[in-house]
Amino acid sequence: MSAPLKMDVITIFPRMLDGVLGESMLKRAAQAGHIAVRTINLRDFTTDTHRTTDDRPYGGGPGMVMKPDPIFQAVESVKESDSRVILMTPQGRRFDQAYAKSLAQADHLIFVCGHYEGVDERVRELLVTDEISIGDYVLTNGVLPAAVVIDAVTRLIPGVLGHVESATDESFSQGLLEYPQYTRPPEFRGMQVPEVLLSGNHEAVREWRVRQARERTRHRRPDMLTDEAG
């Protein structure tokens, strides 16, 4: 078995991840040795009595800005030569499945989770290798977006999911939304499972699923379609 993907999450709210990491797939992945996630309290790298991680912005303006020194100290305490240092920020590149696949190939990910009005620009310019946004909206801090990225990346690590095709059959993995899924009973509240799925004809099922995936993508997310996928 290969070495686990190491992930460090730097935040002033280290307990926010406890529930996410202690349940379901992420818990099993850690127990099986596929991932090793640590939360690092940024306040442990401050030097003043009040353990201050923020200060007023130069030039004035509302809110507070996270200071560079504690962030640099925290990152450098765990950083390795091949670490990817990820800043969770609304200004970052939009996170998608292709980006998740790229991160799943890494050996070590360090998530810097901001708060307040953001981080000192020198963190972005001198320390960070990746800036990631999970959508065009603003959250209270970067821990929840980091949890989303960790979940998406972990499920792509070989051996994490129960079936080898689970990660490749899902929405976005093939450039299309996922086809409709059904399970028992075959009839529910007047709605029948499509007959082709009950036929036992695997090729017919495959063709039906491809058609459905393309039609669903064309209707719901036409922006995803390429000449090949459409």
Q: What is the CATH number of the domain that holds 143?
A: 3.40.1280.10
> pLDDT value at position 1?
65
pLDDT of 21? 96
Q: What is the pLDDT of residue 31?
A: 97
Q: Is residue 84 in some structural domain?
A: yes
The two tokens of residue 47 are 């030097």
Query: 160 lies in a domain?
Result: no
Does residue 74 lie within any of the structural domains? Answer: yes
Tell whether 159 is covered by a domain: no
Verify that 174 and 150 share a domain, yes or no: no
In a shared domain, residues 54 and 140: yes
Question: Tens of pLDDT along the chain (230 residues)?
Answer: 689 999 999 999 999 999 999 999 999 999 999 999 999 999 999 999 999 999 999 999 889 999 999 999 999 999 999 999 999 999 999 999 999 999 999 999 999 999 877 899 999 999 999 999 999 998 999 999 999 999 999 999 999 997 554 555 554 557 899 999 999 999 999 999 999 999 999 999 999 999 999 999 999 999 988 644 44
Q: Is the dihedral of CA 152, 156, 157, 163 positive or negative?
A: positive
Which residue among 108, 124, 154 closes a domain? 154
Is 193 found in the same domain as 85?
A: no
On whether both 141 and 179 belong to a single domain, the answer is: no
Kindly state whether residues 142 and 115 are assigned to the same domain.
yes
Q: What is the CATH number of the domain that holds 199?
A: 1.10.1270.20
Residue 229 pLDDT: 47
Beta strands, E only, the chain? 5-11, 35-41, 54-55, 65-66, 84-94, 108-113, 130-133, 187-188, 191-192
43, 89: one domain:
yes
Full domain range(s) for residue 125: 5-154
Last residue in a domain, options 101, 119, 154: 154
Question: b/e for 184-198, b at 16 or more Cβ within 10 A?
Answer: eeeeeeeeeeeeebe
SS3 content of the chain, % helix, strand, coil (to 5): 35, 20, 45
Number of separate helices (H) and strands (E) present in the chain: 7, 9
Q: Are 136 and 174 in a shared domain?
A: no
Count of domains for the chain: 2
Last residue of a domain, which of 124, 154, 184?
154
Strands 5-11 and 108-113, bridge-based pairing: parallel
Domain assignment of residue 161, yes or no? no
Eight-state DSSP code of residue 14: G
User: Does 180 lie in the same domain as 141?
Assistant: no
Is 32 in the same domain as 94?
yes
Q: Is 174 found in the same domain as 146?
A: no
The structure tokens listed for 154 are 């972990």
Do both 43 and 122 map to the same domain? yes
Q: 186 and 112 in one domain?
A: no
**How far are the Cα atoms of 9, 19, 40, 87, 112 from residue 147, in angstroms, in the given order?**
9, 10, 14, 13, 12
pTM of the full structure: 0.86
- How does DSSP classify residue 66? E
Block residue for tokens 């009005």: 117
Residue 31 lies in a domain: yes
Inside any domain, residue 223: yes
23: in domain: yes
Assigned token pair, 19: 């529930």
Decide: 1 and 33 in contact? Cβ < 8 Å.
yes
